[in-house]
């Protein structure tokens, strides 16, 4: 397995004339079998139902068991163990459901926009995420991935930015390792409620997400927020009209779901050699190859729909390839790059220790990043491209 590319290999290869010709989006697309771009609504629905069966099946079992006399006779440590296993199981499949909704947001769930929107709202509302606002911010992330200023979802803190007086919170976070240790557990709800792009629940015109949006997006935000309220109300009544039960069966697993989302997203986009670009250097394809394909192992890559080990292909064709075809596309792209002596632009890594890796890297680096500066690498690039 080739290691993640070095900063030297990135700049030298992208500077060569051969790479500029071979790494055109249309050329890359032509290297991928046509079946990878086929959206099968029945297959998409199968994953939709499977994830909900895993979630609600576990909930039904633990809910029913907790009402029996046998549960009352269990030692307290066994109850804690069962409850811990339950919230982690459900939290994981909530995350898997998010990935199904993620396909809806990219229109890769089906060819029908109305079905994508309906399923997208069901999946997202059930895990307390307003679908339309998330779709909006996530689309902007894909349009400008690894752009130092225009990217969405998470900030890129180059040294110059961390020196600014208005970045007090970022400075505090990057100076306090304990803050960075626990931040991934709460980062997702913090993001949804407004940092750094803007609230996904209420469209405040002063915030970045909404200042750049048309008025119709404001209305769509309200619709999605109402769907979340309806879902939460339904769960409240489903779980005995008890806030304690709602917290146990839904809100705590939702935090686990958020941890998975942050873990996967962070590792997809962060590596010690990751570069970001400005207006003068940013190119869609170059930036897409800053993404890292990671294999989590233990069957996880399949269960959460290849969001980890097919993310390069996803970034290149984020509105074209459904998650179940990402392995086909990834294999084709790797073969194409290998045939053109360009495999070193592709990042992949076996990350079986992903919980440790994510937290360690976040403690060591946080959101710090390096920006690509052509003049810094000019001499080396010229030699490599000759």
CA quadruple 271, 276, 281, 283: dihedral, nearest 10: 70
Whether residue 287 lies inside any domain: the answer is yes
Residues with Cβ within 8 Å of residue 157, at least 6 apart in sequence: 167, 170, 174, 366, 367, 368, 369
Whether residue 2 lies inside any domain: the answer is no
Three-state secondary-structure class, residue 106:
coil
Three-state secondary-structure class, residue 298:
coil
Q: What is the pLDDT of residue 386?
A: 30
Whether residue 51 lies inside any domain: the answer is yes
Residue 230 structural domain: 7-385
87, 79 contact by CB (below 8 A):
no
145, 154 contact by CB (below 8 A):
no
C-alpha 285, offset from chain centre: 19
pLDDT digits (tens, 9 = 90+) for 355-385: 999 999 999 999 999 999 886 634 324 333 3
Question: Whole-angstrom Cα distance, residue 93 to residue 48?
Answer: 10
pLDDT digits (tens, 9 = 90+) for 203-229: 999 999 999 899 999 999 999 999 999
Residues of the chain with pLDDT under 70: 1-18, 375-386
CA distances from 8 to 11, 12, 271, 350, 381 (A): 6, 6, 14, 22, 8
Whether residue 1 lies inside any domain: the answer is no
Whether residue 196 lies inside any domain: the answer is yes
Q: Domains in the chain: how many in total?
A: 1
312, 329 contact by CB (below 8 A):
no
Question: Whole-angstrom Cα distance, residue 210 to residue 137?
Answer: 10
Q: What is the pLDDT of residue 282?
A: 95
Question: Whole-angstrom Cα distance, residue 329 to residue 335?
Answer: 10
Q: What is the pLDDT of residue 16?
A: 61
pTM, rounded to two decimals: 0.92
């Amino acid at each position: 397995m080739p290691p993640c590319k070095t900063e030297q290999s990135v700049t030298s290869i992208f500077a060569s004339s051969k790479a500029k010709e071979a790494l055109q989006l249309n050329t890359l697309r032509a290297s991928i079998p046509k079946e990878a771009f086929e959206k099968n609504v029945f297959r998409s629905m199968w994953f939709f139902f499977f994830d909900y069966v895993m979630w609600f099946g576990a909930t039904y079992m633990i809910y029913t068991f907790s009402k029996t006399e046998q549960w009352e006779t269990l030692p307290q440590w066994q109850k804690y163990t069962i409850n811990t296993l339950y919230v982690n199981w459900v939290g994981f499949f909530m995350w898997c459901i998010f990935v199904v909704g993620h396909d809806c947001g990219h229109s890769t769930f089906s060819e029908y926009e109305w079905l994508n929107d309906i399923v997208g709202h069901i999946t997202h509302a059930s895990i307390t995420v307003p679908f339309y606002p998330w779709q909006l911010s996530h689309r902007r992330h894909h349009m400008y991935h690894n752009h130092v200023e225009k990217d969405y979802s998470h900030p890129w803190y180059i040294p110059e930015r961390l020196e600014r007086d208005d970045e007090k919170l970022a400075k505090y976070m990057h100076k306090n390792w304990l803050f960075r240790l626990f931040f991934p557990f709460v980062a997702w709800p913090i993001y949804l409620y407004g940092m750094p792009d803007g609230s996904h629940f209420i469209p405040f015109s002063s915030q970045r997400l909404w200042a750049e949006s048309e008025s119709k997006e404001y209305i769509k935000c309200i619709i999605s927020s109402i769907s979340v309220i309806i879902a939460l109300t339904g769960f409240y009544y489903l779980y005995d009209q008890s806030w304690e039960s709602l917290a146990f069966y839904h809100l705590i697993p939702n935090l686990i779901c958020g941890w998975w989302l942050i873990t996967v997203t962070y590792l997809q986009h962060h590596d010690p050699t990751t570069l970001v670009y400005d207006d003068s250097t940013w190119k869609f394809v170059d930036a897409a190859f800053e993404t890292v394909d990671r294999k989590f192992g233990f069957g996880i890559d399949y269960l959460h729909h290849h969001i980890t080990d097919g993310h390069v292909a996803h970034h290149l064709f984020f509105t074209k390839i459904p998650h179940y075809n990402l392995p086909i596309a990834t294999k084709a792209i790797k073969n194409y790059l290998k045939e053109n002596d360009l495999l070193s632009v592709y990042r992949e890594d076996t990350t079986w220790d992903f919980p440790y890796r994510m937290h360690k890297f976040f403690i060591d680096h946080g959101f710090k990043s390096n920006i690509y500066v052509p003049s810094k690498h000019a001499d080396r690039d010229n030699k490599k491209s000759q």
